[in-house]
Amino acid sequence: MPQSSLPDLNTIWLKWMDSVNSCLRNNDYVNAIACVFHVNAVFGGENRIEFNTAKYYQLTNSALMSVCYHCKSETPSQDVKSWNRLLPLIDSVLYGKKYRRCWNCPKCNKYNYQGKTDFVQETFTTPRYLGVVQEPPKIQEGLVGRREFEMQARNWIRLALDEISYSLGVERREYVPVSDRDDMIDNDDND
């Protein structure tokens, strides 16, 4: 009878997690990072996390939203095109300017004064499992660089292990024992 893949996955995962914890206790961050890569390598292609700094920051970037004061819709501030609006004579005397910066709401197509616009900061909620983590930190030269590397490595390892633990949970939920797979194949043949 073929051995099931889930017990092997659990055994290997526990082995590498013990190695990570051992390295962290000994302040051996380089080997702890290597162990994180080994833990990640245990998973199949779909559940393996990706180490990509640009993609990680793109996914975690919090956006500043401009709120239209007419329809209350939110527009990403980087998409807002502002322009100068010539003020009527009375308004120009009141404001002491001939022009005021405005932007058009893409939803209601009405103009908004930038000075009166409310902004909303879209935040990154945690925990949020993305399947991607930035690349590990690199050792810098000197005493300050080493201390900075230790702090960055600890943070990176914690974040990567959170993602990997989530991937393990997904892998466990998707797991179908070998005997059940055979039954599923037999049922498909009968249809």
Is-cis flag, bond preceding 76, omega within 30?
no
Residue 108 φ then ψ, to 5°? -105, -10
Q: What's the Cα-to-Cα distance from 189 to each of 118, 147, 171, 183, 185, rounded to whole Å?
A: 61, 61, 26, 10, 6
**Exposed, middle or buried: residue 160 (CB in 10 Å: 0-12, 13-18, 19+)?**
buried
SS3 112: strand
pLDDT at position 177:
60
pLDDT digits (tens, 9 = 90+) for 29-51: 999 999 888 888 877 777 788 99
pLDDT digits (tens, 9 = 90+) for 134-165: 899 888 776 667 778 888 999 999 889 888 88
111: enclosing H helix or E strand:
strand 111-113
List of long-range contacts for 65-68, beta carbons under 8 Å, 24+ apart: 65/119, 65/120, 65/121, 65/122, 66/103, 66/112, 66/117, 66/118, 66/119, 67/117, 67/118, 67/119, 67/120, 68/105, 68/107, 68/108, 68/110, 68/112
Span 82-95, mean pLDDT? 86
CA distance 161 to 20: 10
Count of other CB atoms within 10 angstroms of residue 175:
12
Mean pLDDT of the chain: 80
112, 38 Cβ separation under 8 angstroms: no
Q: Which residue has the higher pLDDT, 47 or 185?
A: 47
pLDDT digits (tens, 9 = 90+) for 48-66: 889 988 888 877 777 788 9
20, 11 Cβ separation under 8 angstroms: no
pLDDT at position 170:
77
pLDDT at position 5:
57
